[in-house]
Amino acid sequence: MEASIAAQRIGIVIVIPMREPSMSPTADGFVVDAEGWLPEVRQLRSPHVDARPIGTTIDLVVIHHISLPPGEFGGDSVERLFMGTLDATVHSAFEPLAGVRVSAHFLIRRDGSITQFAACGARSWHAGESRFLERDRCNDFSIGIELEGTGDIPYDADQYRALVRLIHSLERAYPLVWIAGHSDIAPGRKTDPGASFDWRRLHTDLGSGRLVRPF
């Protein structure tokens, strides 16, 4: 398995369990259906998705940040971007986004509310040109989670709680091993989730034996 080979080359020993989608709710998680939708969270089905390569193992979570306009929270501009309905003429910051086709599997707002834009079994277009360990095209094997933020403003406690609950749910459904920031897989091109994201807090809240960030 590709993840095992990459782990061996950087000196990390891992065991990748095989899991079935979680069809029952738990105290700290969401239901994940057979396609990778979470019925308990808000859903907007983005057209900016396609099929993963056949036989792909989903083993990586990628953390991003986003705000539109930059530094402004709330509103529906991020949703419109992911749905392909953003009017690039209404704000100067949107002009470079004209015709851009991007999405993520999930968006976590400042209040911890979650919107899902793509089934986890599908490939959302969140990472762009990217490389994780010795594998290119991270969209193929990752789940992308956007946090509403800027990278220099601290994230809200509700966002960390929602992120932990979401990751725990995904871990029960998929053989996840790794976690990375967008800046880890696209260094020099991306900076998110930024200096204000508390990786130590996330790993503590996730609990021991959880996902590895090999950076």
DSSP secondary structure letter of residue 60: E
Out of 40, 79, 95, 146, pick the active-site residue. Answer: 146
Mean pLDDT of the chain: 90
Residue 26 backbone phi and psi in degrees, to 5 = -125, 170
Task: Give pLDDT tens digits for 66-104.
Answer: 999 999 999 999 999 999 999 999 999 999 999 999 999
Q: Which domains does the chain have, with CATH numbers?
A: 2-206 (3.40.80.10)
Task: Give pLDDT tens digits for 20-51.
Answer: 444 444 456 899 999 999 999 999 999 999 99
Residue 206 — very low, low, confident or very high, per pLDDT cuts 50/70/90? very high
Tell me the pTM. 0.89
Task: Give pLDDT tens digits for 157-171.
Answer: 999 999 999 999 999
d(CA 35, CA 32): 8
Residue 5 — very low, low, confident or very high, per pLDDT cuts 50/70/90? very low
Q: What is the pLDDT of residue 96?
A: 95
CB 122 within 8 A of CB 50: yes
How many CB atoms lie under 10 A from the CB of residue 65? 25
* Residue 146 is among the residues annotated as catalytic for this protein: yes
